[in-house]
Structure 1
Amino acid sequence: MWTDFGGVLTPPIDDALDRVADAAGIPAAELYGAMLRIAPPGHDVLEQLELGQVSQAAWGRELTRELAPDWVPRIDLGRFGDHWYADRPFNTALFDGLLAAKRAGFGLGLLTNSVLEWEPHRRAMISDHGEFDLVIRSHEVGLRKPDPEIYRLAERSFGVKPARCLLIDDLAANCAAAQERGWRAILHRDTATTLAEVEEWRSGWSSGS
């Protein structure tokens, strides 16, 4: 059983981008547009950060240059993560439900597209971080969802076949890639629905179906 972090154990990532834009004094659409322009063509806006290919400081400097001269951020975009995670709540109810599944005998892993410099914020949010049996962070392994290779790595890490794996993620593309590997995937929209689907999945294995 693998869960994502941002957008699952935290509120939707759009909320975080709006928070950064507000702090920077830049419309969210303008900020996102600049992020798109500095990303390699055809790649996601945070992909280089999540693969550990560029530091947050260097990325922030490039983003600031891209916004100029029309927009001058009020914050240091080289500390983007500080504002991305500022006052962001943790989904304790969902995490507690996942821990209940773990106590019932199901392995619990964190499979996350992550940024090196953002890890202190994540650790501060989740005091029980050690409750995960396994943690796979994209910036550490050089792979990110929805690359099929990161799902293969997750399978090998737990030593199970794809049919035994479950992914909880807030992005449809990540869920679709997991399903193509033969995983069960839950597209997270709200805590109650996700926990109900986790329980259905658990019950299916418990009954041998």
Structure 2
Amino acid sequence: MAIEAVIWDFGGVFTSSPFEAFNRLEAERGLPRDLIRRVNATNPDTNAWALFERNEIDAARFDELFLEESSALGHPLRGAEVLPRLNGELRPRMVSALKACKQHFKVGCITNNVVSMHSPGQDEGQRKAGAMAQVMPLFDAIIESSKAGVRKPDPKIYLMMCELLGVQPEVCVYLDDLGINCKPAAGLGMKAIKVVDVDQTLAELSGHTGLNFDAELTA
């Protein structure tokens, strides 16, 4: 079945993974590597991250809950220390790939985000010329968890995007840097790509779409 749409995650796809920044914070604080990932993975539907990304709590409450959850794992860390690390560095080749896809397919973005001064695109530099400002206008449709009240990996959010784009899941490619978010997309019939690095991602995306990104990016 021919591909009609390419659906993208944002952080960790168009920007470097926030987990890289989290690891740097952990090293700076003398905390176990991947502690923040462990906190995020504990009670993933009801923890501080889940509530914040669905906009069910504010930043102050997130700060408190994250501290409680990290303390329960034996390493207290305030949520307020984590939020500034969310912003990553833009990956220009991925942006170019999006532009190439847009010439041939519908393109959408599903992002788990938070209503916070530290969420992607919200600091002064990014508002002026940053990742969100450069990338978001390119999409035909955008779903933000903090506005939709639903977050990945809930299958509902993928179906919401399909409805917005007017396509069936079977004709979509989905890209995300987290396997837990790729799994429901694949379960719905999408061609899921777990983003590990740019070269691997563009190779897999080329295989699904038939586009030669080396040619597209140098044209």
The TM-score with structure 2 as length reference comes to 0.76
Deviations along 1:1-40, one digit per CA (max 9) or x if unpaired, are 11111221122332121233355x2514595389469x65
Q: Post-superposition shift, 1:72?
A: 7.2
Out of 119, 123, 142, which is 1:135 matched to? Answer: 142
Match of residue 64 from structure 2: 61
Does residue 93 of the first structure (1) align with residue 93 of the second (2)? yes
Total equivalences in the alignment: 196
Alignment check: 8 A CA contact 2:162 2:169 kept: yes
Runs of 4+ in 1 over 4 A off after TM superposition: 28-31, 39-45, 65-68, 70-73
Match of residue 11 from structure 2: 6
Q: Post-superposition shift, 1:157?
A: 0.5
Give unmatched runs, 5+ long, in structure 2. 1-5, 212-219
Match of residue 207 from structure 1: none
CA distance in 2, matches of 1:33, 1:145: 16
Does residue 171 of the first structure (1) align with residue 170 of the second (2)? no
The TM-score with structure 1 as length reference comes to 0.79
CA distance in 2, matches of 1:175, 1:81: 24
Out of 47, 52, 56, which is 2:55 matched to? Answer: 52
Match of residue 126 from structure 1: 132
Out of 187, 193, 196, which is 1:186 matched to? Answer: 193
Distance change in 2, residues 1:67/1:173 (3 Å): closer
Alignment check: 8 A CA contact 2:49 2:62 kept: no
Q: Post-superposition shift, 1:41?
A: 7.3
- AA in 2 matched with 1:132: F
Alignment check: 8 A CA contact 1:19 1:84 kept: no
Deviations along 1:106-151, one digit per CA (max 9) or x if unpaired, are 1111111111210414653233221111111111101111111111
Out of 137, 157, 164, which is 1:157 matched to? Answer: 164
Distance change in 2, residues 1:53/1:193 (3 Å): same
CA distance in 2, matches of 1:95, 1:35: 31
User: How big is the alpha-carbon RMSD for the aligned residues of Structure 1 and Structure 2?
Assistant: 2.9
- AA in 2 matched with 1:49: F
Secondary structure in structure 2 of the residue aligned to 1:126: helix
Distance change in 2, residues 1:196/1:71 (3 Å): closer
Does residue 32 of the first structure (1) align with residue 36 of the second (2)? yes
Q: Post-superposition shift, 1:61?
A: 2.9
Match of residue 17 from structure 1: 22
Alignment check: 8 A CA contact 2:23 2:34 kept: no
Distance change in 2, residues 1:196/1:40 (3 Å): closer
Q: Post-superposition shift, 1:71?
A: 6.6
Q: Post-superposition shift, 1:78?
A: 2.7
Q: Post-superposition shift, 1:90?
A: 0.9
Secondary structure in structure 1 of the residue aligned to 2:210: helix
CA distance in 2, matches of 1:34, 1:163: 33
Distance change in 2, residues 1:32/1:189 (3 Å): closer
